[in-house]
Structure 1
Amino acid sequence: MSRSNRKVVPECAHALNQMKYEIAAELGLMTGGSAGGADTEFASELGGTASGGGHVNWSQIATRDAGTIGGSITKRLVQHAEQVLKGL
């Protein structure tokens, strides 16, 4: 079976990337500096710099932490979909 990181909806890439940085900030994985242009809502409160950003060195993230970030993204997307479907 072939695996691919191809986005089903390419227009959502920015939102998913922003969510990734928000979750990293919530987990305390932000190290200061620039978040590569990502605007993280909680970065300054949870370890980002006072200038409002933070940086995650993704090559230094433990596999467990990366899995936690991915799992949290999935959980939030499922919760959002349930809320949307509940309104139909």
Structure 2
Amino acid sequence: MSRSNKVVVPDCKAALNQMKYEIAAELGLFASHGVPSGAGADTEFAGELGSVGGGTRIQWSEVTSRDVGSIGGSITQRLVAQAEKVLNGYS
């Protein structure tokens, strides 16, 4: 099965990764394993991730599809909101 996702702006990967961890923290999830050591966001938010919303420490492989979908949906909402701000002249 081939992926239809094409990397358009490779430099955005780190920012999207950071956003993923921020949102996971807000949802009370923690993903300490399987995180690339050079990702930046994994260490920056490590203290928050285990404590936000009474979350427990789990591996990304243990995150439910529903939670992963919530993270992806929240990323999309934030990106759209940021784009709307830029297009409306607010930065």
Q: Quick check: TM above 0.5?
A: yes
Question: Quick check: 2:29–2:50 contact (8 Å CA) kept in 1?
Answer: yes
Q: Provide the residue aligned with 1:85 in structure 2.
A: 87
Residues 3-58 of structure 1, C-alpha deviations (whole Å, 9 max, x = no match): 4232211110110011101100110001557954432665534526xxxxxx7622
SS at structure 1 position matched to 2:84: helix
| Separation of aligned partners in 1, 2:59 and 2:6 | 22
TM-score by length of 1: 0.72
TM-score by length of 2: 0.70
Structure 2: give runs of 5+ residues left out of the alignment.
52-56
| Stretches (4+) displaced over 4 A | 31-35, 40-43
Q: Provide the residue aligned with 1:71 in structure 2.
A: 73
In terms of fraction of residues, the more helix-rich structure is 2
Q: Provide the residue aligned with 1:20 in structure 2.
A: 20
Structure 1: give runs of 5+ residues left out of the alignment.
49-54
Q: Provide the residue aligned with 1:8 in structure 2.
A: 8
- CA RMSD in angstroms, aligned pairs only: 2.8
| Separation of aligned partners in 2, 1:5 and 1:60 | 24
Instruction: Kindly indicate whether structure 1 or structure 2 has the higher relative contact order, using CA contacts under 8 Å at least 6 residues apart.
Output: 2
Q: Provide the residue aligned with 2:54 in structure 1.
A: none
